[in-house]
Amino acid sequence: MSKAQIKVKNPGTKAKASAQIEVKNVTQIYSMRTPFEQKALDNVSLTVEKGDFLAIIGTTGSGKSTLIQHLNALIKPTFGEIEILDFKLTPSRRKMRKIKELRRRVGVVFQFAEYQIFESTIEREIIFGPKNFGISHNDAVKRAAKYIEIVGLKKNMLEKSPFGLSGGQKRRVAIASVLSCEPEILVFDEPIAGLDPSGAYDILQILKKLNDDGKTIIMVTHNLDNALEYSNKTLIMKETQVEYNDDTSKLLLNKNILEKSDLMLPQVTAFINELNLHNVSLPNNINNINTLATEVIKLLKSNYKKPNPCKEKSHESSNIVKKSK
């Protein structure tokens, strides 16, 4: 298979002003022309705008991880091309150029990133990336002190070994080491997989804050309630292809689309759907359980009539009459 080429884009072919990523008709075939040949992506196209929070969802084996591994040139397209920031990734055989710069600007936190921790202290682990990208030791240490707090750990842990940490804490360290390279685009492959609910919540808040601060976030997830709550755009993959790609609210509140994609409804969507079946409609901008609860309470209050004691009495007496028959 040929090597991906990365080159600074010709200004004439520049992507749309706000588009940071354009995946154009990308096909990925692993071990092509061998008995192990496996198509993992089939003609996938996608645009990501600056500041988007894109959720990538889809059944296992649909190609989600393969797609994101292209974004920092860990793998190269077999066919098609990707424009990302100032770079263009193609299936060309020519030697990769500027790959380091691309990887600094596009940070990828792989699934179970904590397994990739290898340094003897947390500080060394976090400064490894920035130093590798040419940041001075002193500045890298300053970044470590900053980003360890951003991921919710204490500065005094920097001198400790990462191997004594819990799985969730190790994942935070792995995230801090990617954040400390200060990339413009952050990609997370199932960042909350295997975490307890409060650890998962904390990680999602970190992603939300990064996005609120203007970073483009891409998150592969199986948790559709999280995708609904945190993302503005959603890509649904099915069997190596893009099934849907649209505003999150258009896709994740739509029972038919999710069923067609072999996905379970988010709990919020299932609840709204159940109410709809009973002709109870709610506003169509609900994207999390708290807003859902607020809207249901509003609805109940608006329809709730205080019982009329006189009516109740006459009702009771009619029952008595019935019984005595």
Cβ closest to ligand ADP, residue 241 vs residue 249? 241
Q: Which of 67, 78, 47, 61 is nearest to 238 (CA)?
A: 61
Name the residue nearer to ligand ADP (CB basis): 91 or 162. 91
Question: Minimum CB separation from ligand ADP for residue 76, in Å?
Answer: 13
Token pair 């792989």 is at which residue?
A: 110
Cβ neighbourhood burial of 170 (10 Å; 0-12, 13-18, 19+): buried
Least Å distance, CB 248 to ligand ADP, is: 18
The CA distance from 25 to 136, in Å, is 40
| Candidate segments 59-67, 94-102, 167-175, 247-255, binder of Mg ion by CB under 5 A | 59-67
Complex with ligand ADP: residue 173 or 263, whichever CB lies closer: 263
Q: In terms of CB distance, is 39 or 98 closer to ligand ADP?
A: 39
Whether residue 40 contacts residue 28, with contact meaning beta carbons closer than 8 Å, is answered with: yes
Q: How far apart are CA 249 and CA 133, in angstroms?
A: 38
Minimum distance of Mg ion from residue 45's CB (angstroms)? 20
112 binds, among ligand ADP, Mg ion, none (CB under 5 to 8 A by kind): none
Give 265's DSSP letter.
Answer: P
Task: Of 181, 5, 183, give the one whose Cα is nearest residue 99.
Answer: 5
CB of 65 or CB of 232, closer to ligand ADP: 65
Residue 238 three-state SS: strand
Q: How far is the CB of 23 from ligand ADP (least distance, A)?
A: 14
Determine if 59 is a binding residue for Mg ion (CB under 5 A).
Answer: no
Task: Give me the residues that bind ligand ADP (CB under 6 A), please.
Answer: 30-31, 38, 40, 58, 60-66
- Stretch (H or E) spanning 197: helix 197-212
CB-side neighbour CA atoms (13 Å) of 7: 13
Q: How far apart are CA 111 and CA 66, in angstroms?
A: 12
Give least dist CB 284 to Mg ion, A. Answer: 31
Stretch that binds Mg ion, among 60-68, 90-98, 156-164, 202-210 (CB under 5 A): 60-68
Instruction: Please state, in angstroms and rounded to a whole number, the distance separating the CA atoms of residues 41 and 238.
Output: 10
Token pair belonging to 251: 């896709």
Q: Stretches 61-69, 230-238, 251-259, 295-303: which one binds Mg ion (CB under 5 A)?
A: 61-69
According to the binding rule CB under 5 A, does residue 65 interact with Mg ion?
Answer: yes
* Minimum distance of Mg ion from residue 138's CB (angstroms): 38
| Identity of the residue, 64 or 104, whose beta carbon is nearer to Mg ion in the bound complex | 64
Give residues in contact with Mg ion (CB under 5 A): 64-65
